[in-house]
Amino acid sequence: MEHLKNKVDNKPTSSRLKQYYNEFDLAMFRLLAFSGIRVGEALALSFSDFDFSSNTLEITKTMSDSKDGHVISTPKTESSRRTIMLDEATMLIIKKWQLRQKEYHFANKVKSNGMVFVGFDGSTMIRQDVYQRSKRLSEAVGLHTIGSHGYRHSHASMLFEAGASMKEAQERLGHSSIEMTMNVYTHVTNETKKKTVEKIVNYVNF
Domain boundaries, the chain: 3-204
- pLDDT band of 112, cuts 50, 70, 90: confident
* pTM, full prediction: 0.82
Residue 2 has pLDDT above 60, yes or no: no
- Cβ atoms < 10 Å from Cβ of 124: 15
User: Residue 46: helix, strand or coil by DSSP?
Assistant: strand
Q: Could you tell me if 124 and 118 are in contact, meaning their C-beta atoms sit under 8 angstroms apart?
A: yes
Say which residues have a Cβ less than 8 Å from residue 105's Cβ, sequence separation at least 6. 111, 112, 122
Residue range 3-204 forms a domain whose CATH class is mainly alpha
What is the model's pLDDT at position 39?
A: 95
pLDDT in tens, 62-77: 998 777 778 898 987 8
pLDDT in tens, 139-161: 888 888 888 788 988 898 888 88
Helix or strand run (H / E) with residue 56: strand 56-59
What is the model's pLDDT at position 10?
A: 38
Residue 188 has pLDDT above 70, yes or no: no
Residue 41 has pLDDT above 90, yes or no: yes
Q: Which candidate, 128, 61, 94, places its Cα nearest to that of 102?
A: 94
Backbone dihedral angles phi then psi of residue 141, each to the nearest 5 degrees: -110, 15
